[in-house]
Chain A
Amino acid sequence: MRRIYVFIVVLLVVSLLDLFYFGRYAQATIRLYDGKLILSGFVKETMYYRTDQTEREKKFRDNSFDYAKTSAYLEALYTIKESPDLTVRLFGGVKWWYEASHRLDEKQNRYIAHRMKKDYVHPRSFDDDILTEAYIDIIKGPWQVRIGKQIVIWGQLDVERVADVVNPLDFRWNVPGIDTWEEVKKGLWMLRGFYQSQLPGTLLFEAIFNPGYFQELVLPYTGTHWGAPYSEPFGASGIDFFSWQQEKWHRDAPTWNLGKNYEWGLRIRGYTWGIDWTLLYWNGLSDSPVIHPQRAARLSQQYIFAALRANATGSTIQPGDWPDYKVAYYKRMQTFGGTAQYYAAWLRGSVWRLEWFFNKGQPFNRGGRGEADEVDDWTRRDTYGFAISYSDKFAIPWFTRSRIAASKRLDVTVTYSWDKIINNSHALYKSALNHRPGDSVADGFSLFLMQMMFNGEWTFVFIGSYKPRIKKWFGAPTLTYTFPGEHWRVDIGYKFYGASRGYTQGIYHDKDALILRIRYEF
């Protein structure tokens, strides 16, 4: 424990020294070659101090600091040519991280599976982990083409991903709304084109073609802050069951294959009767797998035998070589969707946003009453849903006019989301979609509040959600201080979760933690 405190104190002292002696005279975004090359990015240190851990989890922890990540992001924009007729630019982004909590916690170090730890602690693959984006952007007249690795945002809501279907997410360390999309989303190699028409509604056409480069959704690793708690099967130590399965899913994920893994999509943006709208279509592989139940059982047996052997001999679990058969399948599906934004001048000047989707042939596992351990088959279902949000600004009596708020109003966004599975049955495994076992419908509310204070020196943000059908909630108030100059920010916050016990409880219900973050942005 002593090492932890030394580490934290050193970190804070170095940060503060840097802040007060160097931050004051720091320069703006780096521009080189007469502004042709622009570099920007951030370095940040994020720590979570857990305030809620189950007794079972405490067995595998030395302390409550289970997340201490130093991360950096650098993006570069190089303008090759810029004229009214033709613009050519290169854009690239790289990220790096080091998650040091295992250095602060001997037990955590021991109980994160070795293979997972290597992926978790620092980047391992340049393409998968470090390179977020790299593309050339060519603009000529009404045409625009981007070729390379890209992150695409098709949604317009803050956190909900109703119509945002292109890039898969990486949940190993980050969550949307708290971290940037460069950290949360995985870039895809693709060809993306736009055409700005002069048709009524000034329609903007967009097309995407991914020539078979696949990335799957990455779930948090067992034993880490965001992951499920480690458990010792049959009292034996070593790789845990979920990590064993998760690794196999990763190994089964498709690699480059133009013939099988291609993805493509279309989107049209327009403006009609005061509404900004988009319509979209996406044809691609599902980011998350369905499991072949019989093969999954064989894989489980391999693990269980290894665990029993380890228990009997007192060694660690060694499940052996990875089998050749596939367990996880990433099935093709189609999404139809759209977005709409409307400025309601007649309603306080509020902004309303709507997103909707229709998933055709969404793959599901099924079996028994839909529990994970009852899965015996997979099937497809059509699903549809929407989310609607209301954004407004409110003057709070006395407070807004006070020196604290300095005339800045409270930004409020309330969102309601709803989705339904057509031909639902109890047998569908859908807890990850926040559906109760027999319920074809899931819904939820989310709330975003932001209040700037003292002329922007302090900012209070609250992000929260509540899902009434399954009684699951989340809240995260955060206070940010903006240091003088332009680079340094420090955040102090708290995140808390709640869920009724059972099927939809998920893994976040006990992740309550104090958030400490210091950022240098440039």
Chain B
Amino acid sequence: MAFLHRPTNGTVLKSLGFIFMLICVAGASHALEVQYPVQAYTPEELAQIREWEKTWVGQKIDKSNIDQVAEFIPESYVGMFKNPENWSAPAEEGFYFYIGPYKRIVETKGMIEATKKYAPLVKKDSDGTLLNYSELAGIPFPQPQTGLEIAYNFDFNNHGDTAHYIRNSPNVNPRSGRDRYAEQEQWEFFFIHRTEVDPKPVVPNNPKGYHRGIFLHMYTPPEFLNTRYYSMRYADPQKDDETYMWYSQFRRIRRMSTKQRSDSIDGTDLIYDDEFFWDGHISRNTYTFKGTKELLCARHQDMKQAKRQEGQALPNNLTLERCKTLVVHADNKDPNYIYGTRIWYIDPETYIILWTEIYDHLNRFWKCNIMFTNDLKTAKGETKNFIVGYTLNDFQRIHSGYNIQEVRGISIAVDPKMFTVSYLQKTY
């Protein structure tokens, strides 16, 4: 057996060189392999989390002990818990939530496969802008290094390619303790970045270059009953959205202006850019990655558990779990933009914005919003972490908004023809 032979010095050197070369090749091939899905925590970090959870999971957090977990909650929300009377919380209970265990979220097979397939194909210019944006799917930057890469990852979350949900979104005035109701039915359809439903990754025959379509049918308030609109987002960041509305009360199909996206959406605390906590082209902001922050987040929230009385700014009985969020500062390039900095706290496993803090144009703290998500079954039989609601709070005006999304289907069949003018006016 030759390898048992005592080697000469020259042979040793040759062998060491060969082994070094093997290690280098193996290392290089390891670097090319896309590491996805990812987990919010390393094994060591997770062990620490589990240790912390032994004390806290199942604990009810309210005004009496909020300070003990204050490091994991935005300061403004801690203030709400301490001064619940300003936010129309129940007189006896105030605000409260429970702590649950961290649960890893794994994306769908389609998203994982697309990430592995397309992430190596990403082409960027010197500014980091994606050059082949419309050709990709999955998460383009599985190990993001910059704020812009994280923002792109957020943008590529395709909500299951299609989705259908009912939104109950009262406009909340905590000062008077009253709600003004709004109910809409909404569909989403992605033309590109598709990972779940054929055709993938893009819908062929898309000459206008649409990115995504949203169709909305309003039921309340009554003056908007049966008002329907659709809004098309172009992949080209230079193009404004294309929006048409069938305003049932006036029975007219109207082209709507979409340029001024910092206009508030009829009476709510949302501006048009605020949907999903950012609803615009990625190129409109500059991004700064500020590291990570541990926060308590509603990532597995069953909205049926949420308890809330009319006028209450924040629902009770939520279950929040720890998550090491990615912190990104998003600053709009428009110097006259209504907001100063938006701070996004992004789920590293789904790239959904779980918390956002917003400053005004004078960089005074203004709003803080929390997203509720949950693992839901898709039509393909998989599990997808999906938005099921959110709460908006305006700390300058003491005003709030609440939203529950009753999801009817994810990755379902949605006819793209519904994003046409002729579809807007149906029967009524």
Which chain A residues have a beta carbon within 8 Å of chain B's beta carbons? 24, 28-29, 40, 42, 75, 77, 84, 87, 89, 91, 137, 139, 151, 153, 155-156, 158, 180-181, 194, 196, 202, 204, 269, 271, 276, 341-343, 345, 348-351, 353, 391-393, 395, 401, 403, 406-409, 452, 455-457, 482, 484-487, 489, 521-522
* Pair A156/B254 contact, Cβ less than 8 Å: yes
| Set of chain A residues within 8 Å of B176, measured between Cβ atoms | 484
* Pair A196/B173 contact, Cβ less than 8 Å: no
Residue interface mask B157-171, A partner, CB < 8 A = 1: 000000000000001
| Set of chain B residues within 8 Å of A403, measured between Cβ atoms | 396-397
* Pair B257/A349 contact, Cβ less than 8 Å: yes
CA distance A87 to B360 in the complex (A): 48
* Pair A181/B250 contact, Cβ less than 8 Å: yes
| Set of chain A residues within 8 Å of B180, measured between Cβ atoms | 456-457, 482, 484-486
Residue interface mask B255-275, A partner, CB < 8 A = 1: 111111011101111010000
* Pair B260/A393 contact, Cβ less than 8 Å: yes
Residue in A89, A342, A406 whose CB lies within 8 Å of B397: A406
For chain B, what secondary structure do more than half of its interface residues adopt (helix, strand, loop), or is it mixed?
loop
The interface on chain B, measured as residues whose beta carbon lies within 8 A of the other chain's beta carbons, has a size of 54
| Set of chain A residues within 8 Å of B223, measured between Cβ atoms | 489, 521
| Set of chain B residues within 8 Å of A345, measured between Cβ atoms | 239-240, 259
* Pair B252/A393 contact, Cβ less than 8 Å: no
CA distance A153 to B251 in the complex (A): 6
- Asked whether any CB of chain A lies closer than 8 Å to the CB of B188, the reply is no
16 residue pairs bridging A and B, Cβ less than 8 Å apart: A87-B426, A156-B254, A158-B250, A196-B420, A204-B422, A342-B255, A343-B240, A345-B259, A401-B360, A406-B264, A407-B262, A407-B263, A452-B267, A455-B399, A486-B181, A521-B222
What's the least CB distance linking B99 to chain A, in Å?
32
* Pair A40/B222 contact, Cβ less than 8 Å: yes
CB interface residues, B 396-428, toward A, < 8 Å: 396-397, 399, 415, 417, 420-422, 426-428
* Pair A484/B178 contact, Cβ less than 8 Å: yes
What's the least CB distance linking B369 to chain A, in Å?
15
* Pair B225/A40 contact, Cβ less than 8 Å: yes
| Set of chain B residues within 8 Å of A194, measured between Cβ atoms | 422
- Asked whether any CB of chain A lies closer than 8 Å to the CB of B338, the reply is yes
- Asked whether any CB of chain A lies closer than 8 Å to the CB of B253, the reply is yes
Question: Known: A393-B263, A408-B263. Contact between A484 and B257, CB under 8 A?
Answer: no
5 cross-chain pairs, A with B, having the tightest CB-CB distances, nearest first: A349-B259, A456-B267, A484-B178, A521-B222, A407-B264
Residue interface mask B356-385, A partner, CB < 8 A = 1: 000011000000000000000000000000
CA distance A214 to B372 in the complex (A): 57
Question: Known: A156-B252, A343-B240. Contact between A457 and B225, CB under 8 A?
Answer: no
CA distance A204 to B240 in the complex (A): 24
CA distance A452 to B255 in the complex (A): 20
Residue of B nearest to A487 (CB): B222
* Pair A341/B254 contact, Cβ less than 8 Å: yes
* Pair A276/B171 contact, Cβ less than 8 Å: no
Residue in B226, B256, B338 whose CB lies within 8 Å of A407: B338
* Pair B257/A456 contact, Cβ less than 8 Å: no
* Pair B240/A455 contact, Cβ less than 8 Å: no
* Pair A349/B240 contact, Cβ less than 8 Å: yes
| Set of chain B residues within 8 Å of A343, measured between Cβ atoms | 240, 242, 255, 257-258
CA distance A89 to B428 in the complex (A): 10
| Set of chain B residues within 8 Å of A482, measured between Cβ atoms | 180, 221
What's the least CB distance linking B221 to chain A, in Å?
5
CA distance A64 to B82 in the complex (A): 55
Residue of B nearest to A180 (CB): B249
| Set of chain A residues within 8 Å of B253, measured between Cβ atoms | 156
Residue of A nearest to B361 (CB): A401
| Set of chain A residues within 8 Å of B239, measured between Cβ atoms | 345
What's the least CB distance linking B352 to chain A, in Å?
24
